Amino acid sequence: MFTQKEEYYPATATMLEAGTLFFLDKLELEKEISHHPELAIQMISYMSAALRDMTSQLRDTALLDEYAKTVRTLERVGRKFNHEGKRWGIEIPLTVQEFATIVGTTRESVIRVFSRLKKEELIEIRSRKIIILDTCKFCTLMQRDY
């Protein structure tokens, strides 16, 4: 967006559930933004938050070991989805391999971390759902290990 080049954004996505896909015409969007500056502010705010998340993920991938990267990813997902009191239900509609790819590590490493977290009674895993049992303990883990 906002460039003169006729290039496509170099990213892909996979739909995990049935849904509707919308495309925005770049020129039409730029025209609407020029008429509605509040839309520009909302978009900048959203992009700023997304950039902050990506920077955090990149830092974690570069600097942390597999255990820390996996825990951080669980924490990030937990903040974004379903937290209720002291229990977070995090629905992850991904295979362990796909989750490992997101973390930036191997499937075996993720399995070892999940086993350790289960032994420490911090998480439960039921089919394709990870449940952080106690957010207070989990947050303490985050502070202790980093």
Q: How far apart are CA 74 and CA 36, in angstroms?
A: 37
Q: What is the pLDDT of residue 87?
A: 62
- Return the exposure string of 108-126: e unless at least 16 CB atoms fall within 10 Å of the residue's CB, then b: ebbeebbeebeeeebbeee
Does position 123 have pLDDT exceeding 70, yes or no? yes
Q: What is the pLDDT of residue 104?
A: 85
pTM of the complete model: 0.68
Spatial CB neighbours of 26, under 8 Å, sequence gap ≥ 6: 1
Residue 56, φ and ψ in degrees, nearest 5: -65, -45
Q: What is the mean pLDDT of the chain?
A: 82
CB-side neighbour CA atoms (13 Å) of 126: 7
